[in-house]
Structure 1
Amino acid sequence: MHCDFDKVNNIILAYPRSFKNDFNKVSTVIEELICKIPKEINIQLILSSDKDLDFIHQRIDTDRKIETIIIKDWDEIWLRDCLGFINGNKLVKPIYFPMYCDYRYRWNYFKKINVLSKEVITTLMGNAIIDIPLIWDGGNLVSNGEYGLLTSKVIEDNPTFNRYYIERIIEDYLEVKPMIIPRQKDDVIGHVDGYASFINKKTLAISKYPNMRFIQEDNVYLEEFVSQAQNRGLKTIRVFDRPVDQSIRCNCKKKKRSGCYSVSKGIYINNLILNDTVILPQYSLPTKRETIFYNQANKEIYEQAGYKVESVNCDLLSQFGGSLHCLSFVY
């Protein structure tokens, strides 16, 4: 199957300026990202209004060609999660139904995105679509073409299937060996791309957190993560992440909670690899010293791995619980 470090020619993004939800607030992040994408990559945008393409060209002052599809009712930015996985010339499409705390109130929304996402795939990519009978977000998989690394959230989301059956489905449809690790108990989202990414076939980058009280259990979890990867013969490198202790308000109607999952501010592992370039998220961390250290240290890590490094400020984007890898779909 397609891996993050494979050669790519195209990137699909959603431009949310006319979306009828709060995602329209991150339009400036998309504009900055477009400016950092290497010139050889074809940009494909999902718009909800035909006026938005002209607006982009006014905002970013670029003459590069941008291919578009206009879908009036589209209002999703997390393309990694909702489009699926590429395996050869096929697009393997799971059921997009993120089972977070508010999922019962959003059934019609997910039903709509599942239908419209197939229109995106057919129009922009032209791949044959193969439905895989699993509820599964695309952010919960990173692969080197041999192993498919994901968390046990996929087991929780498909309670009518046992673990063995889920692993066999994944292996049959994607031709990788599933490596399912337990979901960290406080991680509601359960996406592996918040902890790890393959930078080449043999090397897995894994988050490294500072020694702080509120992430002590996360540090134990990440060390076990490293052990499991190394036991399978993978080389590991550590990316400096500094998750900020802030919660995101949601619509789950649980009155005793002010927020049910964490912002993604400080998660640098959720980056975007485009051939020989890595586009890293940047964040404004609680202190100026931290901000300078994390932004610079991670830039040097990827440069040492042989990549050119660009960056995009993701402070706004992080308030929605994702970052650049979640935002993009490449092929």
Structure 2
Amino acid sequence: MPVKTRSGKYVSFRYEPSYLANNPQLRTNFKIDIAPNFKVDNLIYTDINLDGGNVVFSPSKEKVIISDRVFSENPEYDKNTLLLELEKLLEASLIIIPSLKSDMTGHADGMVRFVDENTVVTNALLSPYGFETKVKKSLRNYGFNVIDFPYFYSKGDSAVGCYLNYLATEKSIFLPVFGVDTDNGAIKLAKNIFDKTIIPVNINEIAEYGGLLNCISWEFE
């Protein structure tokens, strides 16, 4: 679905992710499949291949975090050219973080979320030398304050355990929970971090397929 920028413009990226290479019937073309029956004002199209889940804006939308998966998804682009075009389209300063090769989507919204313009939450470290440490170091190099958010690993493509893939609205945080003991810690920390109402949502049935609350939502006005 199109991504909304700070000016109110919507950018529709090409949706041909490599993880659907063997399932092309699951791909959607917004211009052909959806736009004719769904009016979106101030909409532009680009041939850049990028999932909405790999676009994480700061509250002001002046900053945006994208994982380096965007490079392998767009091999026809020179890296610098791609970065400049993304900053132009998204109207934001671009922050690139590493992606986990074994993660199906490589989406940034499963690794980091903004609290404010200078503070982010990331998955708590599973190991001092693990992938989460690499992400945290990358964000600190950009000057961010980094808060560990509860996380536990699930096998395969399951997203069970990724609490930070919550849905944020103006007044509420819809927080995924999984019916386990660590839910309480995640809820408590979220209440301490965010000046919003925290609403726990059990989403195991969807999480088993690799998605959570931010994955299945879309910002539209």
Is TM (by shorter chain) over 0.5? yes
Instruction: Name whichever structure is richer in helix by fraction.
Output: 1
User: Is 1:236 aligned to 2:149, yes or no?
Assistant: no
Q: Which residue of 2 aligns with 1:282?
A: 177
Task: Report matched runs for 1:78-89 at 5 Å.
Answer: 83-87=1-5, 88-89=7-8
Residue deviations 1:251-277, cap 9 Å, x none? xxxxxxxxxxx1111110100111121
Structure index of larger Rg: 1
Q: Give the superposition deviation at 1:137.
A: 0.3
Q: Give the superposition deviation at 1:112.
A: 5.0
Residue deviations 1:82-116, cap 9 Å, x none? x121122211110111211x41441x542555523
Paired-residue identity, % = 21
Task: Report matched runs for 1:56-135 at 5 Å.
Answer: 83-87=1-5, 88-100=7-19, 102-106=20-24, 108-111=25-28, 115-119=32-36, 121-122=38-39, 126-135=40-49
Any idea what SS the aligned residue of 1:329 has?
Answer: coil
Q: 1:150 to 1:120 in 2, by over 3 A?
A: farther
Alignment match of 1:166 (pick from 57, 74, 82): 82
Q: 1:109 to 1:223 in 2, by over 3 A?
A: closer
Alignment match of 2:185 (pick from 277, 293, 297): 297
Alignment match of 1:141 (pick from 48, 55, 61): 55
Moved more, 318-327 or 127-136: 127-136
CA distance in 1: counterparts of 2:48 and 2:203, whole angstroms = 31
User: Is 1:325 aligned to 2:214, yes or no?
Assistant: yes
Moved more, 264-273 or 297-306: 297-306
Q: Which amino acid aligns with 2:146?
A: T
Is the 1:244–1:266 Cα contact (8 Å) retained in structure 2?
yes
Aligned length: 216
The normalised TM-score by structure 1 is: 0.61
CA distance in 2: counterparts of 1:142 and 1:95, whole angstroms = 17
Is the 1:270–1:324 Cα contact (8 Å) retained in structure 2?
yes
CA distance in 2: counterparts of 1:209 and 1:324, whole angstroms = 22
User: Is 1:200 aligned to 2:105, yes or no?
Assistant: no
Task: Report matched runs for 1:304-323 at 5 Å.
Answer: 304-305=192-193, 306-323=195-212
Any idea what SS the aligned residue of 1:324 has?
Answer: coil
Q: Which residue of 1 aligns with 2:161?
A: 266
CA distance in 2: counterparts of 1:195 and 1:202, whole angstroms = 16
Residue deviations 1:49-102, cap 9 Å, x none? xxxxxxxxxxxxxxxxxxxxxxxxxxxxxxxxxx121122211110111211x4
Question: Which sections of structure 2, spanning at least 5 residues, go unmatched?
Answer: none
CA distance in 1: counterparts of 2:29 and 2:82, whole angstroms = 25
Q: CA RMSD in A?
A: 1.9
Q: Give the superposition deviation at 1:295.
A: 0.8
Is the 1:206–1:238 Cα contact (8 Å) retained in structure 2?
yes
Is the 1:95–1:114 Cα contact (8 Å) retained in structure 2?
no
Any idea what SS the aligned residue of 2:18 has?
Answer: coil
Is the 1:89–1:127 Cα contact (8 Å) retained in structure 2?
no
Q: Give the superposition deviation at 1:147.
A: 2.5
Is the 2:71–2:79 Cα contact (8 Å) retained in structure 1?
yes
Q: Which amino acid aligns with 1:181?
A: I
Q: Which residue of 2 aligns with 1:190?
A: 106
Q: 1:156 to 1:121 in 2, by over 3 A?
A: farther
The normalised TM-score by structure 2 is: 0.89
